[in-house]
Amino acid sequence: MCRRFHDSREQARALSLMPYAFHNTTFAVRYHVSMKAAVYHRYGPPEVVRVEEVETPNPGDNQIRVRVHASTVSSGDWRARSLEVPRGMGFAGRLIFGLFRPRQPILGTELSGIVESVGKDVITFDVGDKVFADRGTGMGAHAEYIVLDEDAPIAGIPDNLSFEEAAALCFGGTVALDFLQKHGDIQPGQRVLINGASGTTGTALVQIAKHFGAEVTAVCSTRNVDLVSELGADHVVDYTSEDFSQNGEKYDLIADTAGTAPWHRAKDSLSDTGRLLVVLGGLSDMVLAPIRSKKNGKQVISTVAGSSAERCRRLAQLAADGIYKPVIDRVYPLEEIAEAHAHVDTGGKVGSVVITMPILSA
């Protein structure tokens, strides 16, 4: 029987549901056969990541399948691939990523793309929606397709962002909102220092701290001084020639994304009620944080940023309003995934390293 569709969107949706509806049929098998993905089967250097053909995932009733257009190689991907984790976190790292080998062979913590099919109970998204999403430690975004729960951290892409920019919204943006607002209780007029201001999390922290009305001091190396100023930093400390902990200034919040401003170095630069936000720290920072916080009015917060659909929508709004724009260092096609990892391994990326899927890089 031939069915007429009212518009191309309805037709696209019906076609995209067919493989799901007949998922045991030859048609479904052919339709879903395989996709390209960057896969790793053991921990190690960039070369352990290779592009392979893997099975295309199918959405369940409450899931959507997204045709991925872009993703990033984040510092999270670097840690999951190399198992280089902060001091004392080795066992925790293996528990998260896989005891003897990677549990999730496809890296990729964040993505942008277009909804390509939806499960029968999905009501929030429709085929054709442009979305970005945060996968966190669930990963899997370095692939042509990804299946996501409808209520996962996903939001629509604002019109003023490219797929490349949208793919880079979450990793830094989530850290910035979580640490500054939830844990830092940032207030207008406060003095905020961002140590490691030029990376993915640092560039987001600078922009979003400015949005909250803070007076921002950015700490970075010489080559990134102009960048962080352009992002809105009121003051810049070039750590190659100046030590922020020795200049006598006091800050209400110090966010450390570089791991070079631990408690013993930062405490005298905090105001009487100041908070040290440990974005990058070892196990001891996490364990000792509550003890150190009780000693005086100063606090240490060492935690892992949490993601949600609500937070993604907030980031989308900040981007739509021109308040937060991800900084992009380099863009690599999926085929050059090992080169992208090698660049991230230098530890000197500026903002985010983006991966484009064949649909964009063709």
Residues that bind ligand NAP (CB under 6 A): 74-75, 79, 175, 195-196, 198-202, 219-221, 224, 239, 257-258, 260, 279-280, 304-305, 347-349
Q: Please identify, using beta-carbon distances, which residue of 130 and 314 lies nearer to ligand NAP.
A: 314
Minimum Å distance from CB 40 to ligand NAP?
Answer: 18
Q: Please identify, using beta-carbon distances, which residue of 202 and 274 lies nearer to ligand NAP.
A: 202
Q: Please identify, using beta-carbon distances, which residue of 81 and 349 lies nearer to ligand NAP.
A: 349
Q: Please identify, using beta-carbon distances, which residue of 182 and 211 lies nearer to ligand NAP.
A: 182
Q: Rounded to an integer, what distance in angstroms lies between the CA atom of residue 74 and that of residue 126? A: 28
Minimum Å distance from CB 201 to ligand NAP?
Answer: 3
Q: Which residues pair with 215 in a beta bridge?
A: 191
- The alpha carbon torsion through 261, 346, 113, 166 (nearest 10 deg) reads 40
- The alpha carbon torsion through 117, 118, 120, 123 (nearest 10 deg) reads -140
Of 360, 350, 314, which Cα lies nearest the Cα of 75? Answer: 350
Minimum Å distance from CB 254 to ligand NAP?
Answer: 12
Q: Please identify, using beta-carbon distances, which residue of 290 and 348 lies nearer to ligand NAP.
A: 348
Minimum Å distance from CB 289 to ligand NAP?
Answer: 12
At residue 106, the 3 state secondary structure works out as strand
Minimum Å distance from CB 260 to ligand NAP?
Answer: 4
**The two three-digit tokens of residue 33, written as one number:** 């056969």
**The two three-digit tokens of residue 145, written as one number:** 């397709």
- The alpha carbon torsion through 327, 333, 334, 338 (nearest 10 deg) reads -80
What residue is closest to ligand NAP based on CB?
199
Minimum Å distance from CB 59 to ligand NAP?
Answer: 28
Cβ proximity of 159 and 51 under 8 Å:
no
Q: Please identify, using beta-carbon distances, which residue of 118 and 286 lies nearer to ligand NAP.
A: 286
Of 169, 165, 176, 129, which Cα lies nearest the Cα of 153? Answer: 169
Minimum Å distance from CB 13 to ligand NAP?
Answer: 36
Of 135, 138, 196, 203, which Cα lies nearest the Cα of 170? Answer: 135
Q: Rounded to an integer, what distance in angstroms lies between the CA atom of residue 135 and that of residue 124? A: 18
Minimum Å distance from CB 36 to ligand NAP?
Answer: 25
Q: Please identify, using beta-carbon distances, which residue of 16 and 257 lies nearer to ligand NAP.
A: 257
Q: Please identify, using beta-carbon distances, which residue of 39 and 228 lies nearer to ligand NAP.
A: 228
At residue 331, the 3 state secondary structure works out as strand
Looking at the chain, which runs of residues are DSSP E strands? 34-39, 50-55, 63-72, 110-118, 130-134, 145-149, 154-156, 191-195, 215-220, 235-238, 251-256, 270-278, 299-302, 328-333, 352-356
Cβ proximity of 16 and 118 under 8 Å:
yes
Minimum Å distance from CB 304 to ligand NAP?
Answer: 4
Of 143, 182, 146, 124, which Cα lies nearest the Cα of 52? Answer: 143
Q: Please identify, using beta-carbon distances, which residue of 19 and 326 lies nearer to ligand NAP.
A: 326
